[in-house]
């Protein structure tokens, strides 16, 4: 007997089902209404509250995990190990059965696996053939063979005949019926109501994670299941929407504040508070901290870092990362040192800027092509260009040389009061990119790719174009930052710029952008750049050693990563609740 009482978990609430020996239980409903999550909880692979009793014994998630056999809906990603053989896939859950003197007995393994596979009529070239060579139906049988070899306390099948031909379907049905006849509880979740009608004795219809209808033998017709699923889903959606609107209309200030803290704009606000705190610590001991000279100097440094950070944010939104930004900035400064000199005509300066932009775009194109077409990881691809660009920089400038034009430097350092125009440009760029991220199709596609690439592809997002575009745009922002870096350095030096890789990533992470992609803000990156430069500047006013610059940077990024991870983990738990 299987008795499930008041089971709740991620995606389902207060589900109760019951089966008797020889019965097969069906779980019906529109896809995405908690069926898969419910089966994972029954298998012990997900946390749950409530009780699960099998033959009178209450089972915990730990006791069920590995004992209840789950056939997942996506067999290729979750069911079989595509690079392993048919034998290895079948035996993987039952290795304890094949032990002899503490080691695996190959003969016992082969004999039992062969016997089980033969009883299931699995068609395979040999036991050692890769499971990827089998048809969909035979792959599903291998998953079922692994389940039966483990002597399961329960068999759970999630969309068991998805992508399976008619002949294999009938064989799978017979296998499930035989398992049920042998006294093993069998639960089948399927979006095919006709399948459940012919296979199951009792069907529970789920809508929005709740049982809305129970159909016993004779009642479990296809029409009844579809009617219950559709009408109940519509009703539940309406009630949930009304409840949500009522809650939003009656939110207290505390609830609104909590909702804000869970959003993307909480990190920039937190950074602003930290910046105020740092200033409050320094001000009593220095009257020049807020002087025009110090503000101008800090914001000039912020501007270069902000442009590099904006580029890095664009890349990280896709779930990638660009380690080549630092060497690229240094390499572009080296190129600038050949064109942007005091005696250079305007045409040479323009040619230099065009060359720098083309080189930056080319690097972004190379990085993204290595990732999308050569299948490098983002770290491997950009680390390759990191090393190569550094080498090219030294080929062009083995020694520092090529003074940057003072006229260009002065124009770049011009200010509105104590605020440099280039910082105003960086702030406008951050706001503009933020607007595009939230309001444009490009921004939505970018976040979709970073959130879930496969889902984005299914809804028609051009993944290659989004990622290649992100890396090219990121490199072009590095180009803008390199112009400011050239002005700050005043000379072409191949050893400079490398540190912008880590400081750029630090500024982005401080601003709240996720390393996993899909979430973040350009405003946060700008604020992170300001805080980072402010902290480095503070070490001078507080008379701290240079090592404190590294310690404080490491401390800031560690605190930011921990705080944001904990906050978003809590948000996920609240959603599940």
Per-residue model confidence as pLDDT tens digits over 400-420: 999 999 999 999 999 999 999
| Cβ-Cβ contacts under 8 Å for 343 (sequence gap 6 or more) | none
Helix, strand, coil in percent for the chain, rounding step 5 = 60, 10, 25
Q: Where are the domains of the chain?
A: 1-67+153-252, 75-151, 298-569
pLDDT for residue 576 is more than 50: no
**What is the DSSP code (8-state) at residue 495?**
T
Which tokens hold the place of 62?
């730990």
* Arithmetic mean of pLDDT, 514-533: 91
Instruction: Compute the distance between CA of residue 4 and CA of residue 53 in angstroms, rounded to an integer.
Output: 6
φ/ψ of residue 65, rounded to 5: -65, 115
Instruction: Compute the distance between CA of residue 333 and CA of residue 388 in angstroms, rounded to an integer.
Output: 16
Q: What is the SS3 assignment for 521?
A: coil
* Among 202-211, 303-312, 410-419, the least confident range: 202-211
Maximum Cα interatomic distance, the chain, rounded to a whole number of Å: 94
Q: Are 518 and 531 in contact (CB under 8 A)?
A: no
Instruction: Compute the distance between CA of residue 282 and CA of residue 279 in angstroms, rounded to an integer.
Output: 5
Q: What is the SS3 assignment for 300?
A: helix
pLDDT tens digits along 87-140: 888 888 777 778 877 787 888 888 888 888 887 788 888 888 888 888 878 888
Whole-Å CA distances, 176 to 145, 154, 158: 11, 11, 12
Instruction: Compute the distance between CA of residue 356 and CA of residue 477 in angstroms, rounded to an integer.
Output: 11
Instruction: Compute the distance between CA of residue 208 and CA of residue 211 in angstroms, rounded to an integer.
Output: 9
What is the reported pLDDT for 240? 57
Instruction: Compute the distance between CA of residue 458 and CA of residue 460 in angstroms, rounded to an integer.
Output: 5
Instruction: Compute the distance between CA of residue 68 and CA of residue 70 in angstroms, rounded to an integer.
Output: 6
Residue 103, beta-bridge partner list:
100
Q: Are 384 and 370 in contact (CB under 8 A)?
A: yes
Task: Find, among 29, 28, 30, 2, the residue nearest to 16 by Cα.
Answer: 2
Q: Which helix or strand (DSSP H or E) is residue 2 part of?
A: strand 2-9
Residue that is written with structure tokens 């009792």 in the block: 202
Q: Are 333 and 324 in contact (CB under 8 A)?
A: no
Task: Find, among 475, 455, 28, 64, the residue nearest to 220 by Cα.
Answer: 28
Burial class (CB in 10 A: 0-12, 13-18, 19+), 154: buried
**The model's pTM:** 0.68
Whole-Å CA distances, 142 to 76, 327, 419, 505: 11, 50, 68, 45
Which tokens hold the place of 413?
């350092």
Which tokens hold the place of 400?
């520092």
Mean pLDDT of the chain: 86
Other beta carbons within 10 angstroms of residue 371's beta carbon come to 22
What is the reported pLDDT for 132? 85
What CATH number is given for 1-67+153-252 in this structure? Answer: 3.40.50.300
What is the reported pLDDT for 564? 56
pLDDT for residue 346 is more than 90: yes
Q: Which helix or strand (DSSP H or E) is residue 314 part of?
A: helix 292-317
Instruction: Compute the distance between CA of residue 499 and CA of residue 533 in angstroms, rounded to an integer.
Output: 13
Instruction: Compute the distance between CA of residue 338 and CA of residue 373 in angstroms, rounded to an integer.
Output: 34
C-alpha gyration radius of the chain: 31
Instruction: Compute the distance between CA of residue 244 and CA of residue 148 in angstroms, rounded to an integer.
Output: 45
Task: Find, among 466, 439, 286, 284, the residue nearest to 372 by Cα.
Answer: 466
Instruction: Compute the distance between CA of residue 118 and CA of residue 213 in angstroms, rounded to an integer.
Output: 39
325 alpha carbon, distance to own chain's centre: 22
Return the CATH number of 298-569, one of 1.10.3470, 2.40.30, 3.40.50, 1.10.10: 1.10.3470
φ/ψ of residue 345, rounded to 5: -70, 165
| Cβ-Cβ contacts under 8 Å for 509 (sequence gap 6 or more) | 515, 528, 557, 560, 561
Instruction: Compute the distance between CA of residue 70 and CA of residue 156 in angstroms, rounded to an integer.
Output: 5
Other beta carbons within 10 angstroms of residue 388's beta carbon come to 15
Q: What is the SS3 assignment for 155?
A: strand
pLDDT tens digits along 56-92: 899 998 889 888 888 888 877 777 888 788 888 888 8
Q: Which helix or strand (DSSP H or E) is residue 437 part of?
A: helix 421-439
pLDDT tens digits along 167-199: 778 888 888 898 899 889 999 999 888 888 889
Determine the Cα angle at 302 with ends 300 and 304, to 5°.
75
Whole-Å CA distances, 97 to 15, 110, 325: 34, 12, 54
Highest mean pLDDT among 280-289, 323-332, 454-463: 323-332
Task: Find, among 174, 177, 190, 181, the residue nearest to 71 by Cα.
Answer: 190
Instruction: Compute the distance between CA of residue 378 and CA of residue 316 in angstroms, rounded to an integer.
Output: 10
Residue that is written with structure tokens 């209840």 in the block: 68
Instruction: Compute the distance between CA of residue 522 and CA of residue 265 in angstroms, rounded to an integer.
Output: 10
pLDDT for residue 372 is more than 70: yes
* Arithmetic mean of pLDDT, 437-451: 91
Q: What is the SS3 assignment for 494?
A: coil
| Cβ-Cβ contacts under 8 Å for 341 (sequence gap 6 or more) | 402, 403, 404, 405
Instruction: Compute the distance between CA of residue 21 and CA of residue 23 in angstroms, rounded to an integer.
Output: 6
What is the reported pLDDT for 254? 67
pLDDT for residue 52 is more than 90: yes
* More confidently predicted of 235 and 382: 382
Q: Are strands 419-420 and 48-54 parallel, antiparallel or unpaired?
A: unpaired
> For the sheet containing 210-215, what is the strand order?
68-71, 154-158, 186-189, 24-28, 202-207, 210-215
Residue that is written with structure tokens 């409840």 in the block: 243
């Amino acid at each position: 007997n299987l008795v499930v009482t008041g089971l709740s978990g991620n995606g389902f609430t207060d589900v109760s089902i019951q089966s008797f020996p020889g019965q097969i239980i069906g779980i019906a409903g529109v896809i995405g209404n908690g069926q898969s999550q419910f089966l994972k909880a029954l298998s012990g692979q997900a946390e749950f509250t409530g009780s699960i009793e099998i033959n009178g014994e209450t089972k915990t998630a730990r006791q069920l995990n590995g004992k209840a056999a789950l056939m997942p809906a996506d067999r290729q990603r979750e069911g079989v190990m595509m690079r392993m053989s048919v034998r290895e896939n079948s035996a993987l859950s039952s290795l304890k059965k094949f032990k002899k003197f503490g080691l695996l007995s190959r003969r016992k393994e082969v004999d039992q696996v062969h016997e089980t596979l033969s009883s299931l009529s699995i068609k395979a070239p040999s036991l050692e053939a890769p499971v990827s060579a089998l048809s969909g139906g035979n792959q599903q049988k291998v998953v079922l063979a692994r389940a039966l070899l483990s002597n399961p306390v329960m068999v759970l099948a999630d969309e068991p005949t998805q992508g399976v031909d008619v002949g294999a379907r009938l064989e799978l049905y017979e296998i499930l019926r035989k398992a049920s006849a042998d006294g093993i509880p069998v639960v089948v979740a399927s979006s095919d109501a006709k399948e459940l009608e012919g296979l199951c004795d009792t069907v529970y219809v789920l809508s929005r994670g709740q049982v809305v209808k129970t159909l016993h033998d004779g009642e479990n017709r296809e029409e009844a299941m579809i009617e219950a699923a559709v009408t109940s889903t519509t009703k539940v959606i309406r009630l949930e929407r009304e409840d949500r609107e009522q809650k939003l209309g009656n939110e207290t200030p505390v609830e609104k504040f909590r909702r804000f803290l869970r959003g993307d704009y909480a990190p920039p606000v937190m950074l602003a508070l930290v910046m105020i705190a740092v200033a409050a610590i320094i001000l009593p001991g220095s009257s020049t901290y807020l002087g025009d000279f110090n503000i101008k100097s800090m914001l000039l440094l912020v501007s270069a870092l902000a442009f590099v950070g904006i580029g890095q944010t664009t890349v990280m939104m896709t779930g990638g990362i660009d380690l080549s930004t630092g060497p690229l900035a240094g390499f572009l400064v080296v190129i600038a040192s050949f064109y942007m000199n005091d005696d250079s005509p305007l045409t040479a300066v323009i040619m230099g800027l065009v060359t720098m932009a083309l080189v930056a775009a080319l690097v972004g194109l190379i990085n993204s092509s290595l990732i999308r077409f050569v299948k490098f990881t983002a770290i491997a691809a950009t680390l390759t260009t990191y090393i190569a660009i550094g080498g090219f920089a030294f080929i062009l400038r083995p020694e520092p040389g090529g003074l940057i034009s003072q006229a260009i430097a002065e124009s770049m350092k011009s200010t509105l009061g104590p605020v440099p125009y280039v910082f105003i440009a960086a702030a406008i760029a951050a706001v503009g990119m933020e607007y595009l991220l939230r309001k444009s199709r490009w921004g939505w596609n970018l976040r979709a790719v970073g959130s879930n690439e496969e889902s984005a592809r299914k809804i028609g997002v051009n993944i290659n174009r989004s990622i290649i575009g992100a890396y090219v745009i990121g490199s072009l922002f590095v180009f803008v930052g390199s112009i400011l870096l050239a002005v700050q350095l005043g000379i072409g030096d191949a050893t400079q710029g490398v540190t912008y890789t880590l400081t750029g990533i630090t500024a982005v992470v401080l601003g709240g952008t996720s390393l996993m992609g899909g979430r973040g803000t350009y405003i946060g990156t700008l604020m992170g750049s300001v805080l980072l430069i402010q902290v480095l500047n503070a070490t001078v006013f507080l008379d701290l050693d240079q090592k404190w610059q590294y310690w404080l940077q490491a401390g800031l990024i560690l605190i930011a990563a921990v705080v944001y991870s904990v906050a978003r983990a809590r948000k996920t738990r609240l959603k599940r609740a």
